A and B are shown apart, each in its own frame.
Chain A
Amino acid sequence: MSAASEMRHDEIEVRAADWLVARRVRDDWDEEKQSALDAWLEQSPLHRVTYLRLEGAWSRTHRLRAIHQPEPIEKPAKAAYPRLRNMLAGFAVAAIGLAGLGAYLSLPREQTYATALGQHRAVTLADGSHVELNTNTLLRVNAARKIAWLDHGEAFFEVHHDASHPFVVMAGDKRITDVGTKFIARRDGDRFEADVVEGRVQFEGGIAHKPALLRQGDSVVADANSVTMPKKTAIDLARELGWRHGVLIFDATPLGDAAAEFNRYNADKIIIADDTTARLSLGGTFRTNDGEAFVRLAQQVLGLRIQHYPNETVISR
């Protein structure tokens, strides 16, 4: 138990702070630097906890931005989005009813897994792979052929690796082929996103003209017109996986996006009245079913107006 004796905390902390700042402010941050950082974090739990502690302090200051008006040029309007989500959610609930019936009628071996609004479900497939479904998700699996169809929603896959029979996840015209890994796949109509938490996957489809290999920390976001591949840190991914523990984690997240997240889980919707309000940002950790805490925070910190209606809370300036 003499881990600390190898290197004093001060020295580790200097390194950790340099890493954090480079990661957060440098324009030239790339895959190579990220893997160097990952390697350093893996070297010792002391490295990792020191880094996380500084990361925690750093992201806490983001909350100060909540009281700061963002410049109006930043992002395209998003206020209409939560309303659209409402409609989609209603539609999806109906679809789950049908899909449940469909499961009885479908061919043997194709198993349907569904969650209702706010539900979270874990299943172990016949091949030993582990899948967790987030709220409002419909997933069909043919375990024998090792294919899953994500009809809508979000799921976390921890795939039992078998080099000769890779696991495939289909989402419309997009396709993820596992090369031994953990990943998240999410589908909202045309929009598809996958994040690699561990290992590697291959992405094909959409308008991408050739397959792309994604490694740990890589993501792909594809819709009808575009395919982009943003990078994510371990911490970003951990935030995105908050739902596995029943929480939503925001960090300088625009209110519009945060409301849309809550609305994925709850029948009572949060509506942001206008674009300017939707662009204000907020941070914090909330239970997925506790939109009320989020609304209170918006009221207290941002000084916003709250109106309660049956099944709807409207936030406005």
Chain B
Amino acid sequence: MADRPEIGQGIGPVPSSGDTTDAWFMREVLPLESALMQFLRRNWRNESDLADIRQEVYARVYESARKQLPDFPKSFLLTTARHLLINRVRRERIVPIEAIGDLEMLGVPSDEASPDRTVMAREELRRLQAALDRLPQRCREAIVLRQVEGLSQREIAQRMGIAEKTVERHLSLGVRALADMLTLADTLYGEEKS
């Protein structure tokens, strides 16, 4: 039972531990976040639910991948999202019927020919820059000092003239904002696919 994913094979590889699922999730699923958010936004009117829904989709995908890695992560992710939305609609009965129709009809894009991620390295730097630009100033400062300059917590505290504990607060807030801003930047600069 080799774990090597083989293209064109019907049965997906079986992960043998949570650790390999983590790597798979970070490599294959997280980069699809902008596609997932666009899908959710189109099909769910209440913006304030989106983050919760997104995380629930992730959790389901993760749990399922723990048993069996799907061959086509993008299709699997969006199909999971679609099922979850349909269930919510049925449970909460707050969305007009036509929204369901739209969901049922929606074709899920396939995974074929994913672009070579490494080719887009320059593009990636542009997105990172755009995301960082959108962070609160102190958070950005702390993240850049840590991640780009490679300073220690103490050095950052000295450089910014704040307590070490406060450095953690800025970083913690910063990384949360960064995750959202990266998805936004991916959407803004992304190829107009899904």
Contacts and interface: CB of A to CB of B under 8 A. Distances in A.
Contact of B17 (A54, A120, A197): A197
A238 B172 contact: no
Interface string B43-84: 000000001111110111011000000000000000000001
B52 A4 contact: yes
A56 B30 contact: yes
Contact of A4 (B55, B144, B176): B55
Contact of B147 (A26, A53, A58): A58
B118 A18 contact: no
A14 B168 CA distance: 12
Main secondary structure on B side of the interface with A: helix
A44 B62 CA distance: 11
A245 B63 contact: no
A235 interface: yes
Contact of B168 (A21, A54, A63, A294): A21
Interface residues of B, number: 62
B27 interface: yes
Interface stretch (A5-13, A86-94, A270-278): A5-13
Contacts of B1: 122, 124, 130
A231 interface: no
A143 interface: no
Given A60-B128, A64-B128, A301-B122, A249 B27 contact: yes
B148 to A, nearest CB: 5
Contacts of B176: 13-14, 17, 54
Nearest to A47: B59
Nearest to A158: B16
A8 B50 CA distance: 11
Contact of A238 (B22, B62, B117, B171): B22
A49 B36 CA distance: 15
A48 B19 contact: no
Nearest to A17: B172
B128 A9 contact: no
Given A61-B143, A61-B178, A120-B4, A293 B56 contact: no
A237 B19 contact: yes
B148 A64 contact: yes
A122 B26 contact: no
Given A20-B175, A245-B13, A239 B3 contact: no
B94 interface: no
Given A49-B55, A284-B117, A285-B27, A25 B168 contact: yes
- Residue from A60, A130, A237 whose CB has the most chain B CB atoms within 10 Å: A60
Contact of A10 (B23, B51, B62): B51
A130 B16 contact: yes
B59 A238 contact: no
B179 A120 contact: no
A48 B144 CA distance: 25
Contacts of A284: 117-118, 121
Nearest to A68: B148
Interface string B123-135: 0110011001000
Interface residues of A, number: 71
A234 interface: yes
A33 B87 CA distance: 38
Interface string B1-20: 11111000000010011111
A137 interface: no
B98 interface: no
Given A21-B168, A234-B19, A56 B121 contact: no
B27 A57 contact: no
A3 interface: yes
B173 A63 contact: no
Interface string A201-245: 000000000000000000000000000000000110111011011
Nearest to B181: A57
A17 B171 CA distance: 8
A187 interface: no
Contact of B55 (A9, A55, A61, A242): A9
A22 B27 CA distance: 23
B37 interface: no
Given A21-B168, A55-B26, A130-B1, 7 more contacts: A54-B175, A60-B124, A120-B4, A238-B20, A245-B23, A249-B23, A301-B121
In the A-B complex, the 4 residue pairs with the smallest Cβ-Cβ separation, listed nearest first, are: A238-B23, A57-B179, A49-B58, A45-B59
Interface of A: 1, 3-4, 8-10, 12-14, 17-18, 20-22, 24-27, 44-46, 48-50, 52-58, 60-65, 67-68, 70, 120-122, 124, 130, 132, 158, 182, 197-198, 234-235, 237-239, 241-242, 244-247, 249, 284-286, 293-294, 296-297, 300-301
